[in-house]
Amino acid sequence: MESQQYISHIMRPQERLIEAAELKKLTAPKPWKFVWDYFFDFAVIAAAIAVNERFFFNPLVYLGVVIVIGSRFNALTILMHETSHFLAFRSNTLNYLFGEPVGWLVLASMEGYRMNHMAHHRKLNTLEDPDWTRKFPQKSFHYPKSKQGFWLDVLKQGSGIGFVRTLSDIMKSKTMTKSIPVKIKRLKLAFYLAIIAVCAITGTLHGLVLYWIIPLMTVFNLALWLRSLAEHYNLEYDHPYNHARSMKVNPVEAFLLTPHRSNYHAEHHLYPGVPYHHLDKLHRILMENPAYAGHAHITKGIAGLARELSGDPVGPSFDQMVAWQKEANS
């Protein structure tokens, strides 16, 4: 494949894959569905904390609690992603009201994420994609690699070491930090100060470490990294329909890695105006079209993803893509 051919492949349908009337139905928001999922995720976190407080000295219980909380942080960022597209509510104010606190929960900002994410959609998998370029220097995103390399990366990302790099990159990112309005930055600071003050007054500062910092640095960071690999790495990149990966997952895999139908990532890039609760239906419709089914990259489960990430290159290597994009920009 030549460099210009690679650069020209953007995530846009080459033909009509779905009728306009059907697409209009799929783009209709369901605020009640979003609110239910939003508070359900927070309720699961609260329940996990309550369980651990009941069996506080049981390390196995705490391990399970960290997994549950970290997975719900991951789930909530999917809902924040929904608000960044202004798909949760018709009111932008409500999108910010629900989205920003989740951004603060993971030490980020919904507005900063939104600015970064819109550029990611416009310039997918190119040197103008801020996600793509931010991850270039990180060896943990150079895939595929050996099984040993993959599992070493899993250990790195799940141990908390990888989180330090993730947070550092976010802080250095112009689109994710400098684009945030001063008002939001002040609210974010006030949020952190209020949480610390309440915990200090109630004598529960240890809870911030047990139920926020540790799940954030370990399970959440691991899920975020693995989901990022699942979405855009080791793919063919030779057609607009395979610049992102979709996955077939069971309920446990969905809970841990791809909550709220985020496994349908290729569909999301093709039709970013479709809310998350309709992505499964969109996937079924698209798969009925031979043009899409013939090129879409569908991976079966987390085990299938691990095999692909630690197997042979499916398409061009990481170094080839970097070289092509530099050539295109020269």
Q: Is 317 left (phi over 0), alpha (psi -120 to 50) or beta?
A: beta
Burial degree of 93 (CB within 10 A; 0-12, 13-18, 19+): exposed
To which H or E segment does residue 50 belong?
A: helix 31-54
Predicted local confidence at residue 12, as pLDDT:
62
Place of tokens 């919904």: 110
Predicted local confidence at residue 328, as pLDDT:
67
How high is the mean pLDDT in each 10-residue block of the chain (330 residues)? 49 73 92 98 97 89 97 98 96 96 94 92 85 85 91 94 85 73 91 95 94 97 96 88 94 96 96 96 95 94 94 76 71
Q: Domain residues of the chain, as ranges? A: 3-329
Predicted local confidence at residue 28, as pLDDT:
92
Q: Of 97, 41, 94, which Cα lies nearest the Cα of 220?
A: 41
- Whole-number Å distance between alpha carbons of 190 and 193: 5
Q: Taking the model in full, what pTM does it have?
A: 0.92
Q: Of 262, 279, 261, which Cα lies nearest the Cα of 224?
A: 262
What angle do the packed helices 92-105 and 59-84 form, to 10 degrees? Answer: 150
Predicted local confidence at residue 324, as pLDDT:
72
DSSP annotation of 121:
H
Place of tokens 């949480």: 195
Predicted local confidence at residue 313, as pLDDT:
80
- Whole-number Å distance between alpha carbons of 35 and 89: 10
Residue 298, strand partner residues: 246
Predicted local confidence at residue 330, as pLDDT:
66
- Whole-number Å distance between alpha carbons of 165 and 279: 32
What are the distances in angstroms from CA 305 to CA 14, 143, 181, 263?
27, 12, 38, 12
